[in-house]
């Protein structure tokens, strides 16, 4: 086993959130600030609450991940970011209606002072929102990226941060397929410098700027963003970790639990119909067919790699999988997900499973954002660069190279994640049979 040299987690860690005033971001920031004051529990955060088993034989032991692994502490985090609306984190949280007034006011003074920098916005990629706090849209994407780099440097200096992590928690962009300009860094840079290009999304500008400033980039949405060879080349060149895409929060989390159960038991699957109603800003954006296409591709990618239909055609060779998202304003952030699952068993006899998950989208996503910030910073301090496959646990559509098949099973992802943590602290993979 190779030794991993880990730089210390000293100093201040700047957390720059794209979509600073949105539901996920404000819930993440308020919960983190409240947790570090001892006013709330970081429930859902694996880094803060989960134990890690290590050692062999008589030396077997376990401890909290945050005690065993050299992560940054919550009181080291400094929050900032960008948005296409000027609301402070306080105003954004009130508007989002995820947290009640009592919980928002636990840290009111702090979050009133956290205000966004102007966002990079292209209405062709988010058609249902009209950004009012935006950088000059006449600039090329390259010029916008340079402005974002300047923002990062200014924030880092103003807040005396030692390191920065950039995390995307903004709305889903319109679907953009990978093209020739995305295949090499030279081609991509040339495209960024072309006026009016529609092959470079705003999210790509943030990712490029982050890596050029030495900051890991986390893609919490299903857009292309950093998931193409030119960005992988940049990550390698700058030594930056990247990960994504799309937080695995509600319905897809259930799929990555149930599908492995069917596969393990060799039960057949005939069809899986999933639908959602959602009323927050993300739901409004996803009401646009182009943005929904991006989300649909992410959600539909889960089942095949778990069930391996090419190996088991009798069980999974003809699965009908459909996903729908419906914008329904009265629900705000309180998403309701329905799944109808048609399975079959011994001698082909059919059975059904119904799942009705009345979840809270941002409540589920916020702890994922906290974990990913701390773990991406850890990866950077460990000298890891490029796609962080060990963080697949956190994403609906885990990033992978073009010739690879992603791991989607939640249990396999958890094993990958925990073994990487053991490797970082100099421990062997855990042997549960001893």
Tell me the residue length of the chain. 434
Q: Contact at 8 Å (CB) between 315 and 268?
A: yes
Q: Is residue 433 part of a domain?
A: no
Averaged pLDDT, 293-312: 79
Which residue, 314, 340, 360, sits at the end of a domain?
A: 360
What's the total number of domains in the chain? 2
Tabulate helix, strand, coil % of the chain (nearest 5).
Answer: 45, 20, 40
Averaged pLDDT, 26-36: 98
pLDDT at residue 294 tops 70: no
What is the CATH number for 356? Answer: 3.30.360.10
Would you state the structure tokens that stand for residue 63, as one six-digit string?
């401890």
Distances, alpha carbon 347 to alpha carbons 191, 268, 341, 364, in Å: 56, 11, 18, 39
Same domain, 22 and 89: yes
Q: Contact at 8 Å (CB) between 342 and 292?
A: no
Q: Is residue 340 part of a domain?
A: yes
Is the model more confident about 284 or about 340?
A: 340
The set of residues, in sequence order, having a beta carbon less than 8 Å from that of 415 and lying 6+ positions away, is none
Is the model more confident about 430 or about 204?
A: 204
Same domain, 82 and 140: yes
pLDDT at residue 5 tops 70: yes
Same domain, 71 and 122: yes
Res 290: pLDDT: 65
Same domain, 243 and 378: yes
Q: Is residue 348 part of a domain?
A: yes
Distance CA 66, CA 391 (A): 16
What's the pLDDT tens digit per position in 354-406?
999 998 989 999 999 999 999 999 999 999 999 999 999 999 999 998 888 88
285 band by pLDDT with thresholds 50, 70 and 90: confident
Res 75: pLDDT: 98
Q: Structure pTM? A: 0.92
Same domain, 77 and 189: yes
Averaged pLDDT, 164-173: 95
Kindly report the average pLDDT of the chain as a whole number: 93
121 band by pLDDT with thresholds 50, 70 and 90: very high
- Give the H/E segment covering residue 15: strand 13-18
The rounded radius of gyration (Å) of the Cα atoms in the chain is 21
Distance CA 209, CA 82 (A): 13
């Amino acid at each position: 086993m190779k030794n991993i040299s880990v730089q210390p987690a000293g100093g201040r860690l700047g957390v720059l959130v794209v979509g600073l005033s949105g539901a996920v971001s404000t819930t993440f920031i308020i919960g983190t600030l409240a947790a570090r004051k001892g006013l709330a529990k970081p429930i859902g955060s694996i880094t803060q609450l989960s134990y890690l088993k290590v050692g062999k034989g008589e030396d077997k032991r376990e401890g909290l991940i945050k005690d065993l692994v050299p992560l940054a502490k919550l009181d080291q985090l400094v929050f900032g970011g960008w948005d296409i609306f000027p609301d402070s984190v306080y105003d954004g949280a009130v508007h989002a209606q995820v947290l009640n007034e009592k919980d928002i006011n636990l840290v009111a003074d702090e979050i009133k002072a956290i205000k966004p920098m102007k966002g990079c916005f292209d209405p062709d990629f988010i058609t249902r929102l009209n950004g009012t706090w935006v950088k000059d849209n006449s600039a090329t994407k390259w010029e916008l990226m340079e402005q974002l780099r300047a923002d990062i440097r200014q924030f880092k200096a103003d807040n005396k941060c030692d390191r920065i992590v950039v995390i995307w928690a903004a709305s889903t962009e319109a679907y953009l397929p990978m093209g020739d300009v995305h295949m090499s860094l030279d081609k991509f840079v040339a495209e960024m410098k072309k006026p009016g290009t529609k092959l470079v999304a705003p999210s790509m500008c943030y990712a490029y700027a982050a890596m050029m400033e030495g900051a890991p980039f986390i893609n919490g949405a299903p857009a292309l963003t950093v998931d193409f060879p030119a960005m992988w080349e940049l990550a390698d060149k700058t030594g930056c970790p990247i990960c994504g895409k799309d937080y695995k929060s509600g319905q897809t989390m259930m799929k990555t639990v149930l599908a492995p159960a069917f596969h393990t038991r060799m039960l057949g699957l005939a069809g899986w119909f999933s639908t959602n109603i959602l009323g927050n800003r993300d739901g409004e954006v996803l009401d646009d067919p182009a943005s929904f296409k991006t989300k649909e591709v992410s959600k539909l990618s889960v089942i095949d790699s778990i069930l391996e239909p090419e190996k088991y055609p009798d069980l999974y060779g003809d699965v009908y999988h459909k996903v729908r998202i419906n914008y329904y304003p009265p629900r705000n952030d309180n998403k309701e997900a329905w799944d109808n699952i048609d399975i079959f068993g011994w001698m082909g006899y059919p059975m059904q499973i119904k799942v009705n998950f009345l979840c809270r989208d941002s409540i589920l996503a916020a702890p994922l954002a906290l974990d990913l910030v701390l773990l991406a910073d850890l990866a950077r301090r460990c000298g890891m660069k490029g796609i962080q496959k060990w963080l697949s646990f956190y994403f609906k559509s885990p990033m992978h190279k073009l010739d690879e098949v992603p791991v989607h099973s939640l249990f396999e992802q958890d094993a990958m994640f925990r073994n990487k943590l053991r490797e970082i602290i100099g421990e062997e993979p855990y042997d549960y049979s001893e």
